[in-house]
Amino acid sequence: MGKEIERKWLLRSVPKDLESCPHHIIEQGYLNTNPVVRIRRQDDTYVLTYKGGGLMERVEYNLPLDRDSYEHLKEKVDGILISKTRYIIPLENGLKIELDHFKNPHEGLYLAEIEFPSVEEAKAYVAPEWFGRDVTYDIDYHNSVMSQIRP
């Protein structure tokens, strides 16, 4: 069983050197939102993900897809496809910031996520000053909820 322990923040500002960070182009859609069943294309990799209930801590399973399967399932997506660029910013202790810059219809939205090895470490983490409001417990910032907003 996989488990995801993650906190999420809006940003006060975007790092000036963001474009120089490693990044991925992501497109994802939701076949179901409760529980979450998601398909994702990240660059040239395709994945089907199941996520259980919860906000900071939840069960997560990832299964590989091929391109044809992804394209077939994409036609069955409920809501809109989420498109974003994900920048990877390394932190100490092997942690990393996954900074998402969303495209239309959420153009201009930036969210930072950090996955933690334990709930204790997640709760103890002090975010940098350039992070904004912690939206870990705000379901409006879950991509599955954002996918239900029609353009």
Q: Which amino acid, one-letter code, is at 58?
A: R
DSSP-based three-state secondary structure for 128: coil
Full 3-state SS string of 25-83? EEEEEEEEECCEEEEEEECCEEEEEEECCCCCEEEEEEEEECHHHHHHHHCCCCCCCEE
Query: Would residue 87 count as lying in a domain?
Result: yes
39-48 tens-digit pLDDT: 999 999 999 9
Q: Angle at Cα 117 formed by Cα 10 and Cα 148, nearest 5°?
A: 40
- pLDDT at 144 (0 to 100): 95
Residue numbers of the chain with a pLDDT score lower than 50: none
- pLDDT at 116 (0 to 100): 97
Query: Would residue 151 count as lying in a domain?
Result: no
CATH number of 104's domain: 2.40.320.10
Structural domain count, the chain: 1
Q: For residue 81, what are the domain limits?
A: 3-146
Q: Which amino acid, one-letter code, is at 142?
A: H
Query: Would residue 67 count as lying in a domain?
Result: yes
The neighbour count for residue 123, using CB atoms within 10 Å, is: 11
What region does 144 belong to: left with phi over 0, alpha with psi -120 to 50, or beta?
A: alpha
